[in-house]
């Protein structure tokens, strides 16, 4: 599986960030050129969002914490291949996608654009199809509805939990226009969008330079009064492009450090300078409230519900006498390292009144995470892993109830 990581390249220069006092607003004279000296700050432009942006365009696609990264390819999705497996792009049990076969598929896909995002999408489609085919065969799922039900367990569980949360907490969270205006003005919860020109570890210096120039051209067009929708059409982030580049409603610390620092300097209506991470070159945008008031209210209410649920989760664990096993953290590291090996295990990571958290169930969830997240789990602090186990226990309790 191709890796899609947010990990930062620490040796990369921190370039093109907007510095306070050096932002070009829409009403200012645009005849001058942005500053380009030292740790330069590119001029910022105020941009208008297209009609229809003030809706929940994400439709559940982009849940920054967990949901954004969950991939529905069942319990057989493999991670990124090791160096010893050179020539292998992806593997689903005994089905293997080699570089040669991928090249053949790309030829057949012409005139499909051959950028990195398109290639990754093609690999993901292959993995999903291979996974469903193999699970259908193993489980004798001859009926189409059974295949869909088996392959969409994660979405179904998420829908059930969201409905249960709404019934339990919905009436306690009121987000009216005054609340929206107050929190938007405060700026601690920011609705952000971006344009991305991708790069990775394999990107050559020439390609990096080309991507940087492309990002700069897009920014220059925005500064000159260009449309945000046109800018987003050139984004290479397939997860956000169809939603106007929307990343979601974020607080400090939820973006990579380079982007986080820039995002919380933006004023409403501004776009940032070109900002580099290991994913590529980003242009961030913070919309005005009048452009996204309904969408902001929807996401703000969802954040409040999530925060309320986090508080109630701890009470639920106490109420149901949650007990984590002594070797749960060690087991979770093992699951993260090779989740497919744990799918049939009888090992328990914890128990509560009326139920248990099995290693097999944990393995299913871990397999749904990106390979980069699984690698990070292997070396993550014990406290982070314990919180992950508790989160799965809460899901298990609420689903069983």
Going residue by residue through the chain (401 aa), what tens digit of pLDDT does each one get?
333 333 333 333 333 344 333 333 333 333 333 333 333 333 455 555 554 556 443 333 333 233 322 222 222 233 333 433 457 777 666 677 777 777 776 666 555 555 565 666 666 666 666 665 555 555 555 455 554 555 577 778 888 888 888 888 888 899 999 999 999 999 999 999 999 999 988 899 999 999 999 999 999 999 999 999 999 999 999 889 999 999 999 999 999 999 999 999 999 999 999 999 999 999 999 999 999 999 999 999 999 998 888 889 989 999 999 999 999 999 999 999 988 889 888 899 999 999 999 999 999 899 888 787 888 899 899 999 999 999 999 999 999 88
User: Helix, strand, or coil here: 313?
Assistant: helix
Structure tokens at 21: 């006092």
**Choices 3.10.50.40, 3.20.20.70, 2.30.40.10, 1.10.10.10: CATH for 8-67+168-308:** 3.10.50.40
Q: Are 393 and 361 in contact (CB under 8 A)?
A: no
Q: Which helix (H) or strand (E) holds 198?
A: strand 190-198
Q: With left for phi above 0 and alpha for psi between -120 and 50, is residue 122 left, alpha or beta?
A: alpha
Exposure string of 311-323, with b = 16+ CB inside 10 Å and e = fewer, is: eebeebbeebebe
Strand-pairing partners, residue 173, are: none
Strand-pairing partners, residue 190, are: 250
CA distance 102 to 118: 12
With the C-alpha atoms ordered 311, 313, 316, 318, is the resulting torsion angle positive or negative? Answer: negative
Q: Which helix (H) or strand (E) holds 238?
A: none
Cα of first residue to Cα of last residue in the chain, in angstroms, is 36
All structural domains of the chain with their residue ranges: 8-67+168-308, 73-151, 320-400
CA distance 286 to 188: 13
* Cα angle for residues 101, 102, 105 (degrees, 5° grid): 90
pTM: 0.59
**CA neighbours within 13 Å on the CB side: how many for 241?**
14
CA distance 133 to 155: 19
Structure tokens at 28: 């200012």
CA distance 373 to 6: 9
Structure tokens at 65: 């914490």
Smallest CA-to-CA distance from 166 within 264, 323, 272, 298 is with: 298
Q: If you search the block for the tokens 């598929």, which residue do you land on?
A: 105
């Amino acid at each position: 599986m191709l890796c899609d990581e947010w990990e930062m390249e620490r040796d990369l220069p921190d370039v093109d960030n907007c510095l306070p006092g050096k932002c070009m607003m829409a009403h200012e004279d645009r005849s001058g050129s942005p500053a380009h000296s030292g740790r330069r700050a590119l001029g910022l432009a105020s941009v208008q969002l297209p009609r229809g942006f003030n809706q929940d365009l994400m439709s559940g696609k982009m849940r920054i914490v967990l949901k954004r990264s969950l991939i529905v390819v069942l319990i057989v999705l493999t991670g990124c291949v090791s160096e010893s497996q050179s020539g292998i792009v992806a593997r689903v049990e005994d089905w293997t996608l080699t570089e040669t076969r991928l090249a053949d598929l790309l030829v057949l896909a012409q005139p499909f654009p051959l950028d990195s995002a398109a290639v990754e999408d093609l690999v993901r489609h292959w993995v999903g199809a291979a996974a469903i085919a193999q699970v259908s065969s193993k489980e004798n799922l001859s009926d189409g509805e059974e295949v869909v039900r088996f392959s969409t367990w994660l979405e179904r569980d998420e829908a059930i939990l969201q409905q249960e949360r709404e019934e339990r907490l919905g009436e306690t969270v009121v987000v009216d226009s005054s609340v929206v205006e107050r929190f938007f003005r405060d700026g601690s919860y920011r609705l952000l969008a971006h344009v991305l020109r991708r790069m990775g570890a394999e990107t050559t210096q020439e390609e990096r330079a080309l991507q940087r120039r492309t990002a700069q051209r897009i920014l220059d067009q925005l500064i000159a009064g260009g449309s945000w929708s046109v800018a987003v059409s050139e984004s290479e982030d397939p997860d956000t492009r169809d939603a106007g580049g929307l990343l979601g409603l974020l607080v400090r610390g939820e973006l990579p450090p380079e982007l986080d620092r820039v995002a919380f300097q933006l004023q409403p209506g501004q776009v940032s300078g070109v900002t580099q991470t290991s994913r590529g070159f980003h242009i961030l945008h913070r919309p005005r409230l009048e452009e996204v008031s309904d969408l902001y209210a929807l996401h703000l209410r969802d954040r409040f519900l999530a925060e309320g649920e986090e508080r109630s989760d701890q009470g639920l664990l106490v109420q149901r006498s949650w007990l984590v096993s002594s070797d749960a953290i060690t087991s979770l590291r093992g699951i993260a390292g090779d989740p497919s090996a744990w799918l049939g295990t009888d090992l328990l990571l914890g128990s509560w009144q009326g139920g248990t958290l099995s290693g097999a169930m944990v393995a299913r969830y871990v397999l749904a995470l990106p390979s980069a997240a699984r690698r990070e789990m292997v070396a993550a602090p014990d406290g982070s892993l314990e919180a992950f186990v508790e989160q799965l226990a809460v899901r298990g309790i609420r689903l069983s109830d």
